[in-house]
């Protein structure tokens, strides 16, 4: 059995660790709230832009020689209304995989799950034509050791949802695609579901794959006529890059929110485990002290009996 001095030393060490884990849990909780608020705002903006894009896609050139400024085309032709936008055109060249991981550890299995999905994507690329852009130190450190060099690396974000930095990264990737230096861009990130659940996801970002407008009986984008100025084509050309940047922004905010949620949960579990271990060691210490006291009392009683 461990000595009383050893148990007291372990109690002090675990108590200090518990305080650190508790402080990190509170810090992660604060960062999580900020990131989640930004994510909800980003999702709302993307949903609004998606609605606008659906309305524009449902519009097309006027037919029959009418001069009416309102445009109305069946939804089945929406995917081919504006086929010549540069962001929608497939290009020859290497594919870029953007891997979102954390800069710091202590976030449970968050990074491990992303590593496993990324390795699956690499195994599919037998020709090794995929270039990798890393956002986060953990992914950069893990994959560069395994021979996957970095096309770009952004290692100082620290999970901070700074919209200017996010947009700058997205604009750089989009510019490289439009210049023809890369053929496509995929995003590998953790999609946020709840503080305890995030789903590693691979999403095709560029080229944008337009799909026909989906309509429900309660809400149809073609039930009304919309007036576009100067034209649906011009509105579409200006709207699509904004929609693409909003999509990239939401993906990074999803990753940051998932990271902070995973770290908050991991630190809470560590704090609970430390509390449980403290209770176990405290009981063990009390048993040793009780045994020592009982032994001393027995010796005193035995000595008193011997002196009679």
The residue that leads in pLDDT, 251 or 90, is: 251
Tokens 């700074």 appear where?
A: 162
Q: Which run of H or E residues covers position 100?
A: strand 95-100
Q: Quick check: is 283 in a domain?
A: no
Per-residue pLDDT band at 266 (split at 50, 70, 90)? very high
Average pLDDT over residues 96-102: 96
* pLDDT tens string 133-187: 999 999 999 999 999 989 899 998 888 888 899 999 999 999 999 999 999 999 9
SS3 per-residue string spanning 270-294: HHHHHHHHHHHHHHHHHHHHHHHHH
Q: Quick check: is 185 in a domain?
A: yes
Task: Pick the range with the lowest mean pLDDT from 31-35, 61-65, 85-89, 250-254.
Answer: 61-65
pLDDT of the residue at 281: 94
pLDDT of the residue at 61: 46
Average pLDDT over all residues of the chain: 86
Q: Quick check: is 193 in a domain?
A: yes
- Kindly report each contact of residues 274-281 with a partner whose C-beta sits within 8 Å and lies 24 or more positions away, as own/partner: 274/14, 274/15, 274/17, 274/18, 274/21, 275/18, 277/14, 278/11, 278/14, 278/15, 278/18, 281/7, 281/10, 281/11, 281/14
pLDDT of the residue at 79: 40
Its domain, for residue 114, covers: 32-61+70-213+220-264
**pLDDT above 80 for 55:** yes
Average pLDDT over residues 277-283: 95
Whether 289 contacts 133, CB under 8 Å: no
Work out how many domains the chain is built from and give that number.
1
Distance CA 62, CA 88 (A): 23
Per-residue pLDDT band at 75 (split at 50, 70, 90)? very low
Task: Pick the range with the lowest mean pLDDT from 79-88, 91-100, 104-113, 258-267.
Answer: 79-88
The residue that leads in pLDDT, 93 or 186, is: 186
Average pLDDT over residues 63-85: 40
**pLDDT above 70 for 220:** no
pLDDT of the residue at 72: 33
Q: Quick check: is 46 in a domain?
A: yes
Query: What's 178's domain CATH number?
Result: 3.40.1380.10
Identity of the highest mean pLDDT range in 4-13, 55-64, 203-212, 220-229: 4-13
**pLDDT above 80 for 68:** no
Q: Quick check: is 239 in a domain?
A: yes
Q: Quick check: is 189 in a domain?
A: yes
Q: Quick check: is 289 in a domain?
A: no
Q: Quick check: is 270 in a domain?
A: no
The radius of gyration of the chain from alpha carbons, rounded to an integer in Å, stands at 30
């Amino acid at each position: 059995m461990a000595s009383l001095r050893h148990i007291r030393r372990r109690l002090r060490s675990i108590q200090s660790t518990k305080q650190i884990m508790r402080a990190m849990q509170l810090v992660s909780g604060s960062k999580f709230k900020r990131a989640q608020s930004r994510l909800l705002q980003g999702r709302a903006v993307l949903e609004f832009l998606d609605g606008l894009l659906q309305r524009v896609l449902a519009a097309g050139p006027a037919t029959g020689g009418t001069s009416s400024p309102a445009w109305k085309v069946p939804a089945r032709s929406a995917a081919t209304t504006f086929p010549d936008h540069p962001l929608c055109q497939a290009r020859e060249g290497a594919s870029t995989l953007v891997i979102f991981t954390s800069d710091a550890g202590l976030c449970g299995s968050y990074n491990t799950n992303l590593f496993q999905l990324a390795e699956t994507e690499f195994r599919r690329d037998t020709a090794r034509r995929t270039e990798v852009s890393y956002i986060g130190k953990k992914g950069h450190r893990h994959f560069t050791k395994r021979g996957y060099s970095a096309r770009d690396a952004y290692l100082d974000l620290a999970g901070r949802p700074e919209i200017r930095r996010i947009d700058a990264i997205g604009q750089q990737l989009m510019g490289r695609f439009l210049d023809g230096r890369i053929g496509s861009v995929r995003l590998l990130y953790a999609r946020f579901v709840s503080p305890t659940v995030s789903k590693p996801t691979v999403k095709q970002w560029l080229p944008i794959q337009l799909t026909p407008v989906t309509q429900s009986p309660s809400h149809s984008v073609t039930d009304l006529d919309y007036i576009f100025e100067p034209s649906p084509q011009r509105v579409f050309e200006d709207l699509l890059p904004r929609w693409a940047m909003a999509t990239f922004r939401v993906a990074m905010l999803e990753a940051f929110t998932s990271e902070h949620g995973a770290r908050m949960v991991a630190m809470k579990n560590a704090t609970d485990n430390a509390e449980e271990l403290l209770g176990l060691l405290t009981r063990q210490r009390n048993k040793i002290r009780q045994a020592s006291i009982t032994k001393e009392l027995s010796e005193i009683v035995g000595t008193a009996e011997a002196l009679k």
